[in-house]
Amino acid sequence: MSKPLFGIYGASGCGRGIMPLAREWVLKQGFSLDRLVFIDDGNHNPESVNGHRIVNYTDFLALEASERRVSVAIANSHVREKIALRLQQDQVLSWSIQASNCVIMDEVSLGEGAILSPFVTLTSNIRIGQHFQANLYSYVEHDCIIGDFVTFAPSVRCNGNIVIEDHAYIGAGAVIKQGTPDQPLVIGRGAIVGMGAVVTKSVPAGVTVVGNPARPLVKPSILN
Ligand code: UDP
Read off the pLDDT of residues 161-188 as tens digits, 9 standing for 90 and up. Answer: 999 999 999 999 999 999 999 999 999 9
Confidence at residue 219, expressed as pLDDT on a 0 to 100 scale: 78
How close is the Cα of 12 to the center of ligand 1, in Å?
6
Which among 218, 192, 214 is positioned nearest to 205, based on CA atoms?
192
**Ligand 1 pocket check: which of 14, 39, 60, 74 to mutate, most ligand atoms within 8 Å of Cβ?**
74
Handedness of CA 125, 129, 131, 133 (dihedral sign): negative
Mean pLDDT of 190-218: 98
Give the residue numbers marked as catalytic. 142
Closest CA to 125 of 147, 137, 100, 142: 142
Atom of ligand 1 nearest to the CA of 11: 15
Q: Which helix (H) or strand (E) holds 169?
A: strand 169-170
Is the pLDDT assigned to residue 43 strictly greater than 60?
A: yes
Q: What is the mean pLDDT of the chain?
A: 97
Residue pair 201/215 in contact (Cβ under 8 Å)? The answer is no
Instruction: Answer whether residue 224 shows pLDDT above 80.
Output: no
> Model pTM?
0.96
pLDDT in tens, 120-172: 999 999 999 999 999 999 999 999 999 999 999 999 999 999 999 999 999 99
- Residue 221: pLDDT band with limits 50, 70, 90: confident
CA of 76 to the centre of ligand 1 (A): 8
Domains of the chain: 5-95 (3.40.50.20), 98-213 (2.160.10.10)
The number of the ligand 1 atom at minimal distance from the alpha carbon of 39 is 7
Q: Which atom of ligand 1 is nearest to the CA of 9?
A: 7
Give per-residue pLDDT as tens, 59-74: 999 999 999 999 999 9
Of 8, 9, 12, the one to substitute when testing ligand 1's pocket (max ligand atoms within 8 A of C-beta) is 12
- Protein residues whose CB sits closer than 6 Å to any atom of ligand 1: 10-15, 40-42, 74-75, 79, 83
Residue closest by Cα to atom 10 of ligand 1: 42
Q: What is the pLDDT of residue 223?
A: 61
